[in-house]
Amino acid sequence: LKRALDVIGAAAGTFVVAPLIVLIALAIKLDSPGPILFRQRRMGKDNRPFEMLKFRTMADGAEAQKAALMHRNEAGGGLFKIDGDPRITRVGALLRRTALDEAPQLFNVLRGDMSLVGPRPLVIEEDAQIEGWRRRRLLLPPGMTGLWQVFGSSRIPMGEMVKIDYLYAANWSLWLDIKILLRTVPFVLGRRGL
């Protein structure tokens, strides 16, 4: 049931945003040099890494600058977020505000690497900090959205987010996924937690 919801939802979402994808790709290319897509290894279901896709919102080579900006990290607890990140491009700032930078993840969902709803897809370094029973959060594929998103993803410390992910996985139901999807729409439109 979960996979069927993912395939139907991701196919419909891809169809809806297809015209935007072309415009976004062109805007990224005109705004700054570098690739259109940002690819990053994340930890997936059953501890299998996968390559997550996003539209590039930062200057090319931004990952190499992360160490130099670590002293400005505001997220703590293993996550990395800074307000007014100087690596973000003009088009990237708009894509992040509207959550359109996440649109390529629909292809991850269609491939089966991700789900529409699931645990937060952590980068490999963040995932390495999670031990014991908390690793069971990845009994389900990571999601484009989840409880962590609708609760305010940037404000929840990593330890709490991992607990939320575990509780989601332990109590999964199709109705829970539908409720999270319905709550995600106003959350993104209200730009909370982005």
pLDDT digit string (tens) for 51-75? 999 999 998 887 777 767 777 776 6
Lowest-confidence range among 79-88, 120-129, 171-180, 181-190?
79-88
pLDDT for 192 equals 47
HSE of 60 in the Cβ direction (CA atoms, 13 Å)? 9
pLDDT digit string (tens) for 117-151? 999 999 999 899 899 988 999 999 999 999 988 88
Q: In angstroms, rounded to a whole number, what is the distance separating the alpha carbons of residues 129 and 162?
A: 11
Pairing of the two strands 143-145 and 115-117: parallel
Q: What are the contacts of 161-165 at 24+ separation with CB within 8 A?
A: 161/120, 162/130, 162/134, 162/137, 163/134, 165/119, 165/120, 165/137
